[in-house]
Structure formats: structure tokens, C-alpha cells
Amino acid sequence: MQGRFSSKPFFQSPAFAAKICAIGLIAVLSLRMLISVWLHPLRIGWDPALHLQCAQLIVAGGLPYVDMFDVNPPLIWYLDTVPAITASLLNMPVTLAFNLFMLALMMLSASLCALIVLNKLPKSDLIVNLALIFGLLYFNFFLGFDFGQREQIFVLLYAPFMFLRFARYQGAVVGRREAVLVGLLAGVGICLKHYFLFNAVCIELFLLFHFKSHLKELLRNRIFVAENWAAFTFALIYLAHFLFLPQIVKDNYFGFLVPAFARGYQFWDTSLAASLAAPDKRTVFLLLAGGLILALSYCRRYQLLACVAAFALSGVVPYLMQFKGWNYQDIPAFAGAVILLCGGAAALISSVIQFAFKLRSEQQLPIVTIITLLLTAGLSCASAAEEFHQVETNTKFDMERIGYSGNSPWADIDSPFTKIMLDNAKFSDPVIFISNAVAPGFPPLTQLRMTPGSRHLHCCILSVLQYIQDVSDSSPECTRLLSYQQKIADQYAEDIAKNKPVLIFMQNAPSAEYLAPFAFDKNFKNYKKIEEDIVGFSVYKLQPSAKVVP
């Protein structure tokens, strides 16, 4: 048997086997994700749906923080214009375009990592390093409704940078073009949220201490290099672009939203126990601890494991700094844990094979490649068939109702509001959700292709202002910020009068209470209350007579 195959390049060259393994893994897992994306064309989480909606508004000519109000920095909206434009060009659901965009990011990230692993890192570490790439793809399958969050995008964009930096410190020769590309991607990833800078700094510190080098060499060949310049330049350009935004944008963002959230973001704070030890949260941190222990066991032999361990662990700090306990905020820690566990498991299996069969790591590669690819493909096929069956047997939503062809599982758009929205409004009709959270307005608005009837896509800001009112002093700055409450109520009134939203969903508490002092009810004079309490919301429908604009 061995004689029959020994002449094949696959068995002769570990590098060739590794190449096949990398291509195979990326192809199989991407295909598996593609099937899932295709079967769920409308599936999306609340935050990604909100960002996508903002991107659509920007594509339609809207201005951030003027025609759409949200506190998040605008980079994610700019990034989301890619799927937004694609969707409008190809007349496909924007959610599907977004999920395909995420899939493309996954493939790009894994391919870049694979190129670095195959060409720039030691051949003796190939098994473990390829397993790390497997982990980088694999964690995406567990995100559910958090698929597409900025944390996931950061992990995908930053991973090639981390691999390249590690290779650079190990002495690999890095071409300028690839370094610039990887650096730019990392720059985009880091700038998505300022917290991500902490992860990047941690990795740089790790590398600095891990590899001994003279100061001059360190500065010249390790720090002031193309990928760092590219990431830094992107960050500078991004920061500089704020200077060129219209004054009203700057006033609204830096003059109101940022200072308000800086003072009142604690409204959603939770406790440390709830962040780390609650049953639905602790699994991530237990996985992380398991991954760290595995990485420690093998970091002497496979040094990249230690670097990934530093990345995974660094994800805990931004999660706790935000202190909301929201699941998506721990995605970098979770992704790092999954990547570590995959790498650690590969190291463990490799050492067992080495002990039992006296085969060196490179010698194991061909057979490990075959087994891994067969297993991955087999399991992917089985799970895809199961998902297909599940989708087929469940209730479907005919997407013709929103101007597209095909079906989507009803479960993906199911919410207490879906039926009311579909019964009372057509796609592209303006609808308003006045709620102190992104949900439940999103994702239904984005999924059902309805347009936001107000510049205030949600009214989280009212909770923030209420918090400032409750806990802060009566300093001029607080007074100034609190004066926006009236302004926001007026803006809502103006939008309702101008856009005549077909439906208004008003959160009974606390949003209605926030707006009550401003005689907000008068805005509903053309509306009929059709529901009193659907999961805490009153629903108002525009009366037919009021639709005609005088």
C-alpha cells in the first residue's frame, strides 16, 4: 500500500499535503457556511441589522448622526455599504448579501492565514498551525444571531495580522504588498471599536517579550514595518475623516452622542458575577481556561499557540470594561478559545501518534490531512442535510411579499411583531419602533425591507439621558445634555409628521414614560391604537385619511 502511494507528491512532500489540507479545509467549511447562509436568506441579529440599515441609509444619501441616530462609530456602517450596494444592484435581500459578505471575509481571513502558515512559519508546526486555521473558521458556526457582530469581523480581520506579526518576529521574509494588505485589514478591524486596540497592544507586548532582539533591530525590522504602517495609516485616515464631515454631523456625534454615552452608558451595567459566572456566560470562560491549559502544555513546542492564547485572553478585558454581559462582546475570547482548543487538540493527537507510531509531525501530515478532510467533509454533509431537512419541514415565508423571489424559514423572521407588520404595512413603508434597545425594532425592519420612519432608529439615548438625570450632578454639561430630551421628542414629532409612518410601536415602559412629559400623545392624533400590549408595546396604525399629504 505504502509502495503504491509513496511516489505520489502528496505523500512525498509534507508542504504539498499541507497545501491540500488548507485548501480543502477552507473549501469544505466555506461551502458548509454557504449552504447555511443560502438556506436562511433573512437570518440576522439585531445589531448587525441596525448597522446594515444605517449602511442602506448612507447608500441612499443619508448622513450619519443626522439622518440616523446611533452611538456606534461609523466605520461599521461604511463597511456594510458593500453588502448594501450589492443587494440593491442584484435585487437580493440585504441580509443575504451581508451574510455572503461575512462568508467572503471568513474565506479571505483563512486564506491569508493559510498563506502565512504555509510559506512563513516552520514546517514542523504545520499540523497545529493548520488546526488553528480550522478553529478560525469553525468558531463562526456557533455564533447564531451574533453572526456579523463587529467582534467577529475584528477577529477575522485581525487574525492574519497576528499570524504575520508572529512570522515577522520569527524572522520570516515578508513582501511589502502582502504586509500592506494584511495591515490594512487589521487597521479596519481594530478601528471598528476602540476596545480592540487593547487586544492588539497585548499581542505586540507578547511578541516583544517572546522574541529576543536588539533595540535597533527591533525598531527597524519588527516595529516600523509595512503592516504596522498600513494599520496605523488607516487608523489615521479614519480619524482624519471626521474632520471633513459636515459640521452638523460632528456637532451631533461629538457634541451630544459621545458625551452623553460617556456619562450614561452605565445604564445597562451588570455585575461581575453575571458577566462571568452566569450559566449562559460561563461556558465561554471555561472553554477559554481549557484552551489556555492546552496551550500552556504545548507552547514550548508550538509557539504560535502561546500567541493565540494571549489573543484569546485579551478578549476578556474589553468584555468586562463594557460590563454589559452581552454575549457578543465576548466573541474575541470565545473565538480565541475555539482556535486554541483546535490547535491544542491537534498538538495532543500529534504527540499521541508520535508516541504510538514513532512518526514525526511532518510524516504524519499526509495521513492526518486525509482523515481530517474526510471527517470534516462527512460531518459537514451530515449537518447540512439535517439543516436542510429542518428548513424544509418548518413553516416558510414567501419572500415575494417583500419583493424578492424564494422562501425563508419563518423562524428566522418570527417575532411578536412580524404578523402585525406584514398585515398592516407593505415593504418600503416607513415604520417606527420607539424602544430603549436595538431590539425589537431590529432585525424585523431590515428583514421585512421596511424603512425607518424616524432618524431615531431606537431611543437608547433616552435611557442614557434618564440615567444622567438620575445620578449626575446639575453641572452645566449635564444640563446641556438633558436639554436634548425635548429636542429628541421634537425630532420624533417632526419625523412622524413628515414621514407618516404606517405603524408606530411604542414601548409602554420606559420609553413612553420618558416621552410623556413632552405631551407626546398628541403625535398620535392621526393614528388608531390597534394593540394595547404586545410584549410591552402599544401599536398605532396610521388612519387612511391621514395618508394624503396636504
Partner 1 sequence: MKKLCLFFSCLLLLCWSGSLCGYFSTHQILIAAEPAMHISCANLIVEGAMPYIDFVDNATPVLLYLFTLPVLLSKLCFLHPILIFNLLIVLLTIVVFALITAAVKQSGSKGLSLLFYLPALTLSVITSQLYLIDEYGQESMVFMLLFLPYLLERYLSSTGAHKTSPAWRKIFAGVLAALALLLNPIYLLAVLVVEIVCLTALGEVTLFKIRHRYLGLELLACLGSMLAIVAILYLSAPLMVSTYLGPITNLNLLSYDYFYDNLGFVGKSPDRRDLVYAFVVFFIMALPAAGRCLLVRLMCTMAALGFTWLVCSGTLYTHQAFIMTAFVISAFYLALARYLRSMRSVLFEGQLFAQLFAKGENLSRQIYLWQESKPLVRTSLLAGLPVLCFVTINYFCLKNIAADQFFSLANINYYGFGLKPDLSFFSDTVEKNTEPKDLVWIFSSQVRPGFPLITQLRRRPGYLVWAFPLHPLKILHERSTPEQALRLTQLAQLTQFEAGMIDHLRSELNSVRPPRLILIEDGEIWDSLKAAGICTIIEGQYDNLEPLTPLNGDEIALHRPYEYVGHRLGFSAYKLKK
Q: How many angstroms separate the CA atoms of 113 and 120, rounded?
A: 10
Using CB under 8 A as the binding rule, whether residue 265 contacts partner 1 is answered as no
Residue burial 79-110, b: 16+ Cβ < 10 Å; e: rest:
bbebbbebbeeeebbbbbbbbbbbbebbbebb
Q: Is residue 524 classed as helix, strand or coil in its secondary structure?
A: helix
* Min CB(8)–partner 1 separation in Å: 28
Q: Which is nearer to partner 1, 18 or 313 (CB)?
A: 313
Separation in Å, CA 369 to CA 10, 24, 25, 457, 492? 10, 9, 9, 49, 59
Using CB under 8 A as the binding rule, whether residue 223 contacts partner 1 is answered as no
* Min CB(356)–partner 1 separation in Å: 10
- Stretch near partner 1 under the rule CB under 8 A, chosen from 47-55, 86-94, 230-238, 349-357: 349-357
* Min CB(310)–partner 1 separation in Å: 5
**Contact with partner 1 (CB under 8 A) among 249, 320, 359, 384:** 320
Residue for grid cell 430630551: 485
Q: Is residue 148 classed as helix, strand or coil in its secondary structure?
A: coil
**Contact with partner 1 (CB under 8 A) among 110, 306, 391, 462:** 306
**What helix, strand, coil percent values describe the chain, rounded to 5?**
70, 5, 20
**Contact with partner 1 (CB under 8 A) among 3, 61, 279, 544:** 279
* Min CB(507)–partner 1 separation in Å: 20
Q: Which is nearer to partner 1, 25 or 305 (CB)?
A: 305
Using CB under 8 A as the binding rule, whether residue 79 contacts partner 1 is answered as no
**Contact with partner 1 (CB under 8 A) among 262, 296, 497, 546:** 296
Using CB under 8 A as the binding rule, whether residue 463 contacts partner 1 is answered as no
Using CB under 8 A as the binding rule, whether residue 359 contacts partner 1 is answered as no
- Stretch near partner 1 under the rule CB under 8 A, chosen from 22-30, 121-129, 288-296, 383-391: 288-296
- 14-33 footprint of partner 1 as x/- string (CB under 8 A): --------------------
Separation in Å, CA 362 to CA 12, 16, 124? 10, 11, 6
**Contact with partner 1 (CB under 8 A) among 119, 297, 363, 491:** 297
Using CB under 8 A as the binding rule, whether residue 233 contacts partner 1 is answered as no
Q: Which grid cell sits at 510?
A: 420606559
Separation in Å, CA 347 to CA 86, 211, 294? 42, 22, 9
DSSP 84: H
Using CB under 8 A as the binding rule, whether residue 234 contacts partner 1 is answered as no
* Min CB(313)–partner 1 separation in Å: 5
The radius of gyration of the chain from alpha carbons, rounded to an integer in Å, stands at 26
Using CB under 8 A as the binding rule, whether residue 282 contacts partner 1 is answered as yes
Using CB under 8 A as the binding rule, whether residue 317 contacts partner 1 is answered as yes
* Min CB(352)–partner 1 separation in Å: 9
79 sits in the region (left: phi over 0; alpha: psi -120 to 50; else beta) called alpha
Residues facing 430 on adjacent strands:
451
Using CB under 8 A as the binding rule, whether residue 421 contacts partner 1 is answered as no
**Contact with partner 1 (CB under 8 A) among 62, 78, 81, 210:** 210
Q: Report the interhelical angle of 75-90 vs 150-170 (nearest 10°).
A: 110
Q: How many angstroms separate the CA atoms of 439 and 268, rounded?
A: 14
Q: How many angstroms separate the CA atoms of 391 and 410, rounded?
A: 9
Using CB under 8 A as the binding rule, whether residue 119 contacts partner 1 is answered as no
Q: Dihedral, CA atoms, 191, 194, 195, 197, nearest 10 degrees? A: 60
Using CB under 8 A as the binding rule, whether residue 162 contacts partner 1 is answered as no
Using CB under 8 A as the binding rule, whether residue 309 contacts partner 1 is answered as yes
Using CB under 8 A as the binding rule, whether residue 90 contacts partner 1 is answered as no
Using CB under 8 A as the binding rule, whether residue 271 contacts partner 1 is answered as yes
Q: Which is nearer to partner 1, 102 or 299 (CB)?
A: 299
Residues facing 68 on adjacent strands:
64
Using CB under 8 A as the binding rule, whether residue 266 contacts partner 1 is answered as yes
Q: How many angstroms separate the CA atoms of 537 and 550, rounded?
A: 30
- Stretch near partner 1 under the rule CB under 8 A, chosen from 27-35, 139-147, 157-165, 275-283: 275-283
* Min CB(205)–partner 1 separation in Å: 7
* Min CB(500)–partner 1 separation in Å: 40
Q: Is residue 343 within 8 Å of residue 308, measured between CB atoms?
A: yes
| Residues 6+ positions from 503 with CB-CB distance below 8 Å | 420, 421, 424, 425, 429, 431, 432, 539, 540, 541, 542
Using CB under 8 A as the binding rule, whether residue 214 contacts partner 1 is answered as yes
DSSP 64: B
Question: How many residues of this chain interact with partner 1, rule: CB under 8 A?
Answer: 48
Q: Which is nearer to partner 1, 177 or 214 (CB)?
A: 214
Tally the C-alpha atoms within 13 A of residue 512's C-alpha that lie toward its C-beta: 17
- Binding site residues, partner 1, CB under 8 A: 202, 205-206, 209-210, 212-215, 218, 266, 269-274, 276-279, 282, 285-286, 289-290, 292-293, 296-301, 303, 306, 309-310, 313-314, 316-317, 320, 323, 325, 351, 354-355
